[in-house]
Structure 1
Amino acid sequence: MNPEVEQMLTALYGAMAEEPDQPGRWQARHADQVLRSHFQPIYSFPHRRPVGYEALIRVSDAQGQALSPLHAFERVGSFEEQVHLDRLCRLLHVHNFVEQRIPDCWLFLNVHPAVFVHAARHAEMLTQAVEVVQQLGLPMNRLVFEVTEDVMAQDEKFEHAVEAARRTGCLLALDDFGAGHSNFDRIWRIKPEIVKLDRGLLQQASHSHRMARVMTHMVSLLHECGALVLLEGIETREEAQLALDADIDLVQGYAFGRPQADLRAAGEISPLIEDVWELFDATHLQGRQRYEERVAPYRTAMALALLPLQQGRELRVACEAFLRLQGAQLCYLLDEQGRELGLRELPDGVVQATEERFAPLERAGDARWARRPYFRRALASIGEVQVTRPYLSLHGARLCITVSVAFWQDGRLRVLCGDADWGQAE
């Protein structure tokens, strides 16, 4: 063994010992402070049980009084001491995790980005660290290293460190995504297996339907990037419900369990998650019923417009029933390539209000809407009325739904569309 590596391991194990009154429970000393491991469970919504635990350090002084974990790291006087303390915490967590013999669960370990990069530069130390962990009985594929997203972007060598870590077989979690200067470009480049969303997103989604949709779309994009999504800081059933609605994969927070020295049983089903799933079933059904009741008049009115159009009647006459409905914005006709035919029709007495900022979008000209879901779905099911999910319309930059139906007219394919305001639901 390299003398430097041997010296490092001797120093780490010299600072650790089993707790006198709890065999198998390890603690460590750093300066005049005592370090202990606590673990917070991380649940999977589909599995309803813990699939991992985040290791958190707990610090006390010589008299046993609890101190803030930050206190230990704020007293570090040099980078070498920072590296030592970081390694000591991780080795302590691995020992306490392995001793409890919980199978098939991840251990999440926080790593300071500078220490993460430093370790990757010292291949022999990294190799020895891997051997120590495996000898303790923890395969590297059950280790998840957490690195804060905003800090890691400041070091150009971070990507090389990621490659070195991946060669060991561990997983990478990007922490606090959605706070500060979060960037999807980093996700594409680094390809973390897990992305932890910042709790601030959850707080915003709790007070805004629009932000809840934004969070849902963000989760969808992260899934497209190949990452599982973990939402931490969940404290209430309502927040857990928001996470489930957003298709979050993994959840963590006081609502599911506070950090403690003992691990929960891996097979333990969460009563809260069971409750949230039951609520999901009920609210999903109710929400679908409310949605169908709300869009039904638009569907019916759009279906009624087909025959007059096929008979050659004017668009305004054919869409009269639709334009009389509350919330109706406009009707328009598209050709088989998605181009607008003729003028748009608005409800009687309504002048389409346009903010000057969005005026260029109102002058559609030769615009094509062939990529829009309402156009493509209508062509895929000719004669069947389609309704989109709420989206931001380019017709005035409003939140709306579009009702559409494709039909044949004089041997040519046409798509009739009607926009309805959906902002009233906010």
Structure 2
Amino acid sequence: MATEVESTLLALYEAISEQDGIWQGRHGDCLLSSSFQPIYSFPHRRPVGYEALVRVQDGQGRLLSPVSLFERVGSFEEQVRLDRLCRLLHVHNFVAQQAQDSWLFLNVHAAVFVNVTEQAEMLARAVEVVHQLGLPMQRLVFEVTEDVMSQDHKFELAVEQARATGCLLALDDFGVGHSNFDRIWRIRPEIVKLDRSLLTRAMDSKRIARVLSQMVALLHECGALVLLEGVETQDEAHLALDADVDLVQGYAFGHPSPQLLSKAVSGEVESAWELFDQRHLHLRQADEERVAPFRTALALALQPLQQGRPMAEACAAFLRLEQAQLCYLLDEQGREQGERVAPTGRVEVADPRYAPLERAGDARWARRPYFRRAIASIGEVQLTRPYLSLHGARVCVTVSVAFWRDGQLRVLCGDIDWGLAEGD
């Protein structure tokens, strides 16, 4: 087996050559070269890694897509050889540019990745070659396409063997097809690459943008860094920054190039931060202006309530405001006290599909942020982020304030219709 491994490695080296510090490869009549697309960290504002991409020219000098090159391959053995050839070429071109503190992202064909379970000696020899070239394994990130991760035990074994070399694993194209978090929990990738399709949908819908932010937060809870790929415009870069992704990749920050970028702070990332600051300042000011009357009205309701006045009377100023949904009172355990009060004379068409939620009876809201925050800061009016209310299943924000009445702690809450339709 050792002789076979050395023969395989020798054949791969016979297919690549170096001239003026640039390595090229040959596969049949095709010429292969490397391009590297930078991967930026928003906090660091510079490239922290590069994805290696193969560029292909046929015998007539015409450019071919990598997909068409692999489609020409006639057997699995040749597919494995071509996949290894591309990675060997990329490693040499990356090392030649003396990138000292960057990751190298390498795509691995799914079938080849699983096949590593039967090629332990070849894997060990490949790791040895990489070390000899001066590239520590912890700076290699192997990308595996998300849609091929099945329950196959061979795949999980391949993950264990790859991770044992010291490399990082990136789950690619998450968000396409049948993506699910079960694969994240089982495989535990160090990096999850979100597909561009999630970005384009989030650009068209505020609701999807909020979902994207929550998805990023959940992936962080799973212990993964999140990379959003396909970022092409400044507006998309702002959305990525707002969603709290860790890493970004796309034409907005750099096209693939044979040469690695300098480590200087990126002007494109700086522009994204400037746009982020400007828009968040504007949104904060707009939201504060929108919510200020509700804050004031809720605070004014405290004295009448402490004097024992009815809820409808105490909250009259709040309920007269446009977009006011309802007011309700909670005890120290988050249970509703008395009847909810809603604006009078305002026609509201209730969705009968959610009628069971309207007849919930003794509802308890102790786990809601508006309750917990109010209890933690008695007397201070609190404001939530937009969320889906169980009252009519509409997006709302809630203002709340905790206060003492007759020696008992109470929390007064007012819901505001935030006016975000499903497609917004």
Q: Which residue of 1 aligns with 2:391?
A: 395
Which AA in structure 2 matches 1:111? V
The list of structure 1 runs, each at least 4 consecutive aligned residues, that deviate by more than 6 angstroms after superposition, is none
Preserved contact between residue 354 and residue 362 of structure 1 (Cα < 8 Å): no
Distance 1:26 1:182 in 2: 37
Q: Which residue of 1 aligns with 2:308?
A: 312
The SS at the match of 2:260 is: coil
In the alignment, is residue 88 of structure 1 matched against residue 85 of structure 2? yes
- Cα offset, 1:352, TM superposition: 4.9
In the alignment, is residue 5 of structure 1 matched against residue 9 of structure 2? no
Q: Which residue of 1 aligns with 2:418?
A: 422
Q: Which residue of 2 aligns with 1:49?
A: 46
Preserved contact between residue 120 and residue 165 of structure 1 (Cα < 8 Å): no
In the alignment, is residue 58 of structure 1 matched against residue 55 of structure 2? yes
Q: Which residue of 2 aligns with 1:213?
A: 210
Task: Flag structure 2 segments of 5+ consecutive residues without an equivalent.
Answer: none
Distance 1:400 1:204 in 2: 22
Which AA in structure 2 matches 1:2? A
In the alignment, is residue 330 of structure 1 matched against residue 326 of structure 2? yes
Q: TM-score, normalised by structure 2?
A: 0.97
Preserved contact between residue 117 and residue 154 of structure 2 (Cα < 8 Å): no
- Cα offset, 1:96, TM superposition: 0.6
Deviation sequence 1:163-206 (CA, Å, 0-9, x none): 11111000000001111111111111111111100100111111
In the alignment, is residue 284 of structure 1 matched against residue 286 of structure 2? no
Moved more, 113-122 or 237-246: 113-122
Matching of residues 16-415 of structure 1 within 5 Å: 16-18=16-18, 22-153=19-150, 155-265=152-262, 267-350=263-346, 352-415=348-411
Preserved contact between residue 140 and residue 168 of structure 1 (Cα < 8 Å): yes
Distance 1:154 1:382 in 2: 51
Distance 1:294 1:244 in 2: 25
The SS at the match of 1:144 is: strand
The SS at the match of 2:264 is: coil
Preserved contact between residue 189 and residue 224 of structure 2 (Cα < 8 Å): yes
The SS at the match of 2:171 is: strand
Moved more, 150-159 or 47-56: 150-159
Preserved contact between residue 202 and residue 208 of structure 2 (Cα < 8 Å): yes
Deviation sequence 1:287-330 (CA, Å, 0-9, x none): 11111111111100000000000000000000000000010001
- Cα offset, 1:424, TM superposition: 4.9
Distance 1:33 1:288 in 2: 56
The SS at the match of 2:8 is: helix
Distance 2:366 2:94 in 1: 55
The SS at the match of 1:247 is: coil
- Cα offset, 1:103, TM superposition: 1.0
Quick one: structure 1 residues 374 and 224, their matched pair in 2 at CA, closer, same or farther if it must change by over 3 Å? same
Which AA in structure 2 matches 1:208? S
The SS at the match of 1:260 is: coil
Quick one: structure 1 residues 29 and 154, their matched pair in 2 at CA, closer, same or farther if it must change by over 3 Å? farther
Deviation sequence 1:28-79 (CA, Å, 0-9, x none): 1111111111111111111111100000011111222211111210011111
Which AA in structure 2 matches 1:15? A
Which AA in structure 1 matches 2:245? I
- Cα offset, 1:106, TM superposition: 0.3
Moved more, 345-354 or 274-283: 345-354
- Cα offset, 1:154, TM superposition: 5.9
Preserved contact between residue 310 and residue 408 of structure 1 (Cα < 8 Å): yes
The SS at the match of 2:153 is: coil
Aligned residues: percent identity?
73
Moved more, 279-288 or 299-308: 279-288
Distance 1:118 1:268 in 2: 40
Quick one: structure 1 residues 424 and 30, their matched pair in 2 at CA, closer, same or farther if it must change by over 3 Å? closer
The SS at the match of 1:172 is: strand
- Cα offset, 1:409, TM superposition: 1.2
Preserved contact between residue 121 and residue 161 of structure 1 (Cα < 8 Å): no
Deviation sequence 1:81-121 (CA, Å, 0-9, x none): 11111100000100011011111000000001111111133
- Cα offset, 1:268, TM superposition: 2.3
User: What RMSD, in angstroms, separates the aligned Cα atoms of the two structures?
Assistant: 1.3
Distance 1:217 1:161 in 2: 30
Preserved contact between residue 353 and residue 396 of structure 1 (Cα < 8 Å): no
The SS at the match of 1:46 is: coil
Q: TM-score, normalised by structure 1?
A: 0.97
Which AA in structure 2 matches 1:288? R
Distance 1:295 1:253 in 2: 37
- Cα offset, 1:350, TM superposition: 3.1
The SS at the match of 2:378 is: coil
